[in-house]
Chain A
Amino acid sequence: MAGWLNWREIERNNDWGVRSRSDATAELWNDAAAQWEQRAQREEDFSRRQVEALNLPPDATVLDICCGTGPLTIWLAQRVKSVTAFDYGEAMLDHVRRKAGQRGLNNVTCMQGNWYSMEPGVDLPQADIAVTRHSPAQGDILKFSRCARKYCYSLWNCAPYPQPGQAERHTGRWIRSDNEADNFGPRPDGRLYGYNVHFNLLYDMGANPTLRYVTDTTEYIRDSREALYAAVTNGRRPEPELARLLDKRITRLEDGRWCYRMVSKISILGWDPSELNIE
């Protein structure tokens, strides 16, 4: 691989690369399926617009890798021939099945497994298009590339937090170990280890990836600053660094209430896996 840096090695240290690969850790995600579904409902329209930004031929088969409760799955299924929704969590997949049923989508198939112990094309069937958002597959983008015959999409949060000089090493609970006590601490710098790593890795392997973004704005309005913090951070008390960052964007309204306007941005990296010179 001719390139300026060994991006594969850097990828091993990104937010997904450093996590535990055990079933017990994967189970921790599943435990929170109900909360993930709440978030999926809040962001339903945002997810719809993300799927709208993908080029999807109507006759394509799609593999939704680590689909969670299926926020993308239900929109994908309305646009393509069929979707295989793959995840470790049975509780997550239950939500996918329920939502597909409610919408009368009979082209969704659920598949359970641990991403790390499966091999695309062997025990994980390839599809025309592979899609993943915020998932363990982003710890190894080349393995993910092997899931698709025609095109790949990797969706990665790039706002609000990861901005240069702003809360790069945000602290919080993140599932990286089956020992829950280890799951609090600083995460890799979100900007240094962002979607730039995947762009460079794919570019160096010979692909010419496309990059698009979808933006969403949510306004939080509360009676006090503390209530606003709680609303934005799901009830947790923000670390001082995060609080400083939030304060910059909190405004006081004329009626005395407090307002935080959160702009979320998701990057959509797309590439043709056949362009990669894997040798």
Chain B
Amino acid sequence: MRGWLNWRALEKHNVWGVRRKDDEEAATWSASAAQWEQRARREGDAARKQVEALTEISSEDSVLEVGCGTGPMTVWLARKARCVTAQDFSAEMLDYVRQKAEAEKLDNISLLRGNWFSMEPDVDFPKHDIAVARHAPCQSDIVKFSRCAKKYCYSLWNCAPAEREAYTFNPGIPTDPKTSPHRRYNEPNGRLFGYNVHFNILYDLGANPTLEIVTQERTVIRERRDEVLDALFGGQADKLPEPFRERMEANIVRQADGSFCFRQVTKMSILGWDPSELHLENLG
């Protein structure tokens, strides 16, 4: 692969690359399906706006959603495409997808359960017209993900949480078993190992990827400071990891009238590419 760096080697150290690939690891996600569903509801209309930005999807297309979780995007994809296959390891997550499909009377969603890392595109499941992933384990290997689609691929990646500076200079979240027992990995610097790595892999392989940014704003105002985080995290603020909680609290601003305000701007990058542009023989 010709390019300035071996971005494929760097990808192995991104936030998905450093995680374990086995079923036991996948099951830890499954155990928190209820929290993920809460998070999906907190998002407001973010998923709708993101799916709106996937302009290559037409009503003729079949879509594979890899690592769909509880399906915040699935229902919107199903309204836009001919049909959607929602893949996830977790039966609990897929149950939420099934419930949503039934509630919305969408009969074009099929579920595919399995561990992404032990599945091979075009072998264990057919290629679809379009492949979509947002915040998913398949983002540890964007070339394998590219093999899922015939026409177009979309990879959605968070590029700005609450405050830009803290993120840009995020040195990575270290794992300390005493303070964060639920974290088992050192999280890499979100900016160095961000969507730039995927852009460069795809560019070096011959694609000309598109990039769009979808911004979501949310403002919470409460009388007391502690009420703000509770409102944001559904009364679970005391369970947040300490560094994350500190960062969130630093952004609560006291207003002139004495109330407390939290303004959250999140940005989602949407990388899109035609997998047939990739010269995979250059992988080397």
Chain A nearest CB from B198 CB (Å) reads 12
Please report the C-alpha to C-alpha distance between residue A206 and residue B212 in the assembled complex, in whole angstroms: 16
Asked whether B3 lies within 8 Å of A209 as measured between CB atoms, the reply is: no
A210 within 8 A of B: yes
Chain B nearest CB from A201 CB (Å) reads 11
Please report the C-alpha to C-alpha distance between residue A165 and residue B279 in the assembled complex, in whole angstroms: 9
Q: Which residue of B lies closest to A277 (CB)?
A: B168
Asked whether B208 lies within 8 Å of A267 as measured between CB atoms, the reply is: yes
Please report the C-alpha to C-alpha distance between residue A228 and residue B280 in the assembled complex, in whole angstroms: 31
Please report the C-alpha to C-alpha distance between residue A196 and residue B219 in the assembled complex, in whole angstroms: 35
Asked whether B196 lies within 8 Å of A200 as measured between CB atoms, the reply is: yes
A252 within 8 A of B: no
With a 10 A CB-CB cut-off, give which of B169, B213, B269, B282 has the most chain A CB atoms: B213
Please report the C-alpha to C-alpha distance between residue A194 and residue B202 in the assembled complex, in whole angstroms: 14
Q: Which of A4, A165, A191, A199 lies in contact with B192, CB distance below 8 A?
A: A4
A203 within 8 A of B: yes
Asked whether A164 lies within 8 Å of B200 as measured between CB atoms, the reply is: no
A189-201 near B? 1/0 per residue, CB < 8 Å: 0011010100110
Please report the C-alpha to C-alpha distance between residue A199 and residue B209 in the assembled complex, in whole angstroms: 11
B2 within 8 A of A: yes
B222 within 8 A of A: no
B159 within 8 A of A: yes
How many B residues touch A, CB cutoff 8 Å? 31
B149-183 near A? 1/0 per residue, CB < 8 Å: 00000000001100010001100000000000000
Given contacts A206-B164, A211-B210, A277-B168, contact A164 B159 (CB under 8 A): no
B211 within 8 A of A: yes
A238-279 near B? 1/0 per residue, CB < 8 Å: 000000000000000000000000000101000000010100
Q: Which of B3, B10, B204, B211 lies in contact with A210, CB distance below 8 A?
A: B211
Q: Which residue of B lies closest to A200 (CB)?
A: B196
Please report the C-alpha to C-alpha distance between residue A159 and residue B277 in the assembled complex, in whole angstroms: 12
Question: A residues within 8 A CB of B4?
Answer: 4-5, 10, 192
Chain B nearest CB from A94 CB (Å) reads 35
Q: Which of B10, B159, B164 lies in contact with A4, CB distance below 8 A?
A: B10
A208 within 8 A of B: yes
Asked whether B211 lies within 8 Å of A265 as measured between CB atoms, the reply is: no
With a 10 A CB-CB cut-off, give which of A206, A209, A213 has the most chain B CB atoms: A206
Asked whether B2 lies within 8 Å of A4 as measured between CB atoms, the reply is: no
Question: B residues within 8 A CB of A213?
Answer: 208, 210
Asked whether A265 lies within 8 Å of B267 as measured between CB atoms, the reply is: no
Chain B nearest CB from A253 CB (Å) reads 25
* Chain B, 69-111, CB within 8 A of any chain A CB: none
B239-280 near A? 1/0 per residue, CB < 8 Å: 000000000000000000000000000010100000000010
B199 within 8 A of A: yes
Given contacts A10-B4, A192-B3, contact A164 B206 (CB under 8 A): yes
Chain B nearest CB from A154 CB (Å) reads 13
B191 within 8 A of A: yes
Asked whether B267 lies within 8 Å of A208 as measured between CB atoms, the reply is: yes
A181 within 8 A of B: no
A-B residue pairs in contact (CB < 8 Å), sample of 28: A2-B189, A2-B192, A4-B4, A4-B10, A4-B192, A5-B4, A5-B5, A10-B4, A158-B208, A163-B206, A164-B204, A164-B205, A164-B282, A165-B282, A191-B2, A192-B2, A196-B200, A199-B199, A199-B211, A200-B200, A206-B164, A208-B160, A210-B212, A210-B213, A211-B208, A211-B209, A267-B208, A275-B164
Question: 3 tightest CB-CB pairs across the interface, nearest first?
Answer: A211-B211, A164-B206, A203-B196
